[in-house]
Amino acid sequence: MRRARSNIALPGPLPRERHDWQTVRQLLPYLWAWKGRVIFALACLIGAKLTNVAVPLVFKDLIDALSVPPKQALLLVPLGLLAAYGVLRFSTSIFTELREIVFARVTQRAVRAIALKVFEHLHELSLRFHLERQTGGLTRDIERGTHAISSLINYSIYSILPTLIEVALVMGILISRYPGRFAMIAASTLTVYVLFTISVSNWRTALRREVNELDSAANVRAIDSLINYETVKYFNNENWEKNRYDQQLVKWESAQVKSQISLSYLNLGQAAIIASAVSLMMWQAAEGVAGGSMTVGDIVLVNAFLIQLYMPLNFLGVLYREIRQSLTDIERLFRLLDEHREIQDAPDARPLERGPCTVRFEHVGFHYESRRQILSDVDFEIPAGNTLAVVGHSGSGKSTLARLLFRFYDVQQGCIRINGHPLKQLTQASLRAAIGIVPQDTVLFNDTIFYNIQYGRPTATRGEVIAAAHSAHLHGFIERLPDGYDTRVGERGLKLSGGEKQRVAIARALLKNPPILIFDEATSALDSKTEKAIQAELEAAAVGRTTLVIAHRLSTVMNADRILVLDGGHVVEQGRHRDLLERNGAYAQMWALQQQEAEVESITA
């Protein structure tokens, strides 16, 4: 089993400014798309806070009215005041729930839109990115990022913004109704509290980021090990994998403990600041009542305002930390959107017209890394309806030709044309719609056999899928399965053998019915008998189509219209099978070697 490649580093710490305004600016358009709902939700938020602040004022009047002799209380406390108190209490809940109802669609639609855009963008990135990515870390970033969008909106719209509005209203009432020292105490406390919370939370952000990095790293190791389950079993390395995973968990545990201890320090500091402020305010209010300048209702009002102010502040550290963490997670998600699309449609790209296709490689040079050239001055043409076979030793660049034709990568030198059009001037969608490929390493979806064959053309009928399975000599095998075409193939198709997976890939390509076919070692995992049977089907499928056959077994390309021999990225020979044998060159040597191997196999069998 081929081990999944995962050699790109986890995203590291990012510049601070990216967490603050750039991420928020990138998120705002998704919310403002529902500006009507946003404005209405904000109006409900303000209404809820106005009624919430009005409740202590009404309650103060009730207390003062009830502080007189009982006989006069019924006259001084009108029923309307009691009714107003109840209505205000209920109105706060009404406005709050209305805000929730109205804003719910905004939040979830924003999450959906961003998740869909990231998913679409990941599919638009080059093969280079997907060969280097770490599946575990990538999926964790997407999961945390989409969850963080909802968290950020909830924290900012439902917690931070209401608290700021309430602070402004309460400060206004304290300034207008009471001596300046009350507002001074409240303002000083808020300032000290916020500065302390922000400074400590900024320190904790680095710890939280380290926790997330280690969490992603542990997840990468776990996913990578589980994906390669068979390889782990082959080499009896369960304990090795467990120890590697535990090494990462030990680091994560240590970072998590540091983060939790720092949270306790933050909570203790916040509690000390609030306790000091509440004691000072109540002392000032008690002095006012004793001196006759304030009523019992005033002390109740001040106490109620303190509770309304400081109860939300109790969670300010948590909110600030979560908002910063949400911004970090969202920024990691948006960074995926910032990944450069190496392969893009040109502004003037045109669709490839359906019909016969002539493929031309013009002096193509290509490298994955600048230090290692893969193809050098490769020049050939596949006329419409012809079959070209490419043979050569492993590492000679055969499969790279298919990747370049499919435009997984762009060439660095030369040009590839279809019907005279450079690939860069064709839309990727139309180009890839015109090409069907049977890859050497077939990977299937964890779904049914029917789904995996139909994936070649999702609109195909069941009859067409079955016909494609017949052509790939797969129908008989499927019929013998208890669930037939509804048999699930498992993760990456691991419930099927290599040959069965390859026949599914052949059926899928035949069902697509494209004008260009690429067979990249299409029968390498098949036994000789099945290979001969399918080879006839492949040759029949290639009739009338432009076909590129990449092969190791020369016996499978004998009937090709032309054969290219690649060696070290260069075309060293080309011609028909018989002509190449007569030249007694590289092709003839490969043929003789494979014939000897076949004779040895037949003797030993």
Q: Is the per-residue pLDDT at 493 higher than 90? A: no
Residue 465: pLDDT band (50, 70, 90) is: very high
Tokens 């003037």 appear where? 348
pLDDT tens for each residue of 514-541: 899 998 887 766 667 767 767 777 777 7
Tell me the average pLDDT across 227-231: 76
**Any idea how long the chain is?**
605
% of the chain residues with pLDDT over 90: 12
**pLDDT > 70? residue 314:** no
Which parts of 370-494 are beta strand (E)? Answer: 372-382, 387-392, 413-418, 421-422, 435-438
Strand ranges (E), 321-452: 359-369, 372-382, 387-392, 413-418, 421-422, 435-438
Tokens 């450069």, located at residue: 340
Q: How high is the pLDDT of residue 76?
A: 45
Higher local confidence (pLDDT), 499 or 605:
499
Q: Which CATH class is domain 16-338?
A: mainly alpha
Identify the pLDDT of residue 43. 72
Strand order in the sheet with 372-382: 372-382, 359-369, 413-418, 421-422
165-184, pLDDT tens digit by residue? 777 777 787 787 778 888 88
Q: What percent of the chain has pLDDT over 70?
A: 76
Using one digit for the tens of pLDDT, what is the confidence trace for 230-239? 778 777 888 8
Helix 79-124 to helix 316-338 angle (10° resolution) is: 30
**pLDDT tens figures, 317-351:** 567 767 777 777 777 777 777 776 777 888 888 99
What is each CA distance from 100 to 106, 543, 582, in whole angstroms?
A: 10, 63, 81
Cβ within 8 Å of residue 553, ≥6 positions away? 523, 524, 531, 594
Looking at the predicted structure, is the pLDDT value of residue 480 above 60?
yes
Q: How far apart are the first and last CA of the chain?
A: 26
Least confident of 309-313, 535-539, 569-573: 309-313
Averaged pLDDT of the chain: 77
pLDDT tens-digit profile of 114-154?
878 877 777 777 666 766 665 556 776 777 777 777 777 77
441-513 matches 16-338 in CATH topology? no
pLDDT at residue 551 greater than cutoff 90: no
More confident residue, 267 or 582: 582
Indicate the pairing of strand 387-392 with strand 546-550.
Answer: parallel
Which residue do the tokens 């990456």 mark? 492
Hey, where are the domains in the chain? 16-338, 441-513
Who contacts 365 (Cβ-Cβ below 8 Å, separation ≥6)? 373, 375, 376, 377, 378, 411, 412, 413, 414
Q: Does residue 393 surpass a pLDDT of 80?
A: yes
- Give the CA distances from residue 166 to residues 100, 159, 271, 352, in Å, rounded to whole numbers and listed in that order: 18, 11, 20, 62
Q: Is the pLDDT of residue 398 over 60?
A: yes
Distance, in Å, from the CA atom of 440 to the CA atom of 149, rounded to the nearest integer, reads: 41
pLDDT of 265-302, one tens digit each?
Answer: 887 887 788 778 877 877 877 777 777 777 767 777 77
The predicted pLDDT at position 17 comes to 43
What crossing angle do the helices spanning 316-338 and 296-314 adopt, rounded to 10°?
30
Options 3.20.20.80, 3.40.50.300, 3.40.1160.10, 3.40.50.1100; CATH for 441-513 is: 3.40.50.300
| 3-class SS letters over 262-303 | HHHHHHHHHHHHHHHHHHHHHHHHHHHHHHCCCCHHHHHHHH
pLDDT on residue 336: 77
Grade residue 543 by pLDDT with cuts at 50, 70 and 90.
confident
Per-residue pLDDT at 95 = 61
Residue 563: its pLDDT value, please?
92
CA 23 to chain centre: 17
Place of tokens 């999702």: 458
CB 564 within 8 A of CB 587: no
Question: pLDDT-based confidence at 364, cuts 50/70/90?
Answer: very high
Average pLDDT score over residue span 222-242: 81
Of 402-406, 427-431, 554-558, the one with minimum mean pLDDT is 554-558
d(C-alpha 57, C-alpha 80), whole Å: 14
Q: What is residue 557's three-state secondary structure?
A: coil
CA distance 437 to 357: 15
Tens digits of residue pLDDT in 401-417: 988 998 888 898 999 99
**pLDDT at residue number 264:** 83
Confidence band for 69, pLDDT divided at 50, 70 and 90: low
Measure the CA dihedral 111/115/116/118, to 10°: 140
Higher per-residue confidence, 58 vs 424:
424
Confidence at 21, pLDDT banded by 50, 70, 90: low
CA distance 149 to 14: 18
Strands (E), 394-472: 413-418, 421-422, 435-438
Q: Measuring CA to CA, how many Å separate 460 from each of 40, 450, 477? A: 47, 11, 21
DSSP 531: H
The tokens 């933050």 sit on which residue?
266
pTM above 0.75, yes or no: no
Of 50-64, 427-441, 491-505, 544-558, the range with the lowest mean pLDDT is 50-64
Two structure tokens written together for 529: 């008998």
Confidence of residue 304 (pLDDT cuts 50, 70, 90): confident
Exposed (0-12), middle (13-18) or buried (19+): which is 148, by Cβ within 10 Å?
A: buried
CA-wise closest residue to 549 among 568, 589, 572, 577: 577
Q: At residue 501, does pLDDT exceed 80?
A: yes
- The CA–CA distances, whole Å, from 249 to 6, 204, 575 equal 19, 20, 59
Count CB neighbours of 243 within 10 A. 10
Instruction: Give me the pLDDT at residue 519, please.
Output: 87
Bridge-based pairing of strands 570-575 and 562-567 is antiparallel
> In the beta sheet, which residues pair with residue 81?
none
Q: Give, for 566, the enclosing helix (H) or strand (E).
A: strand 562-567
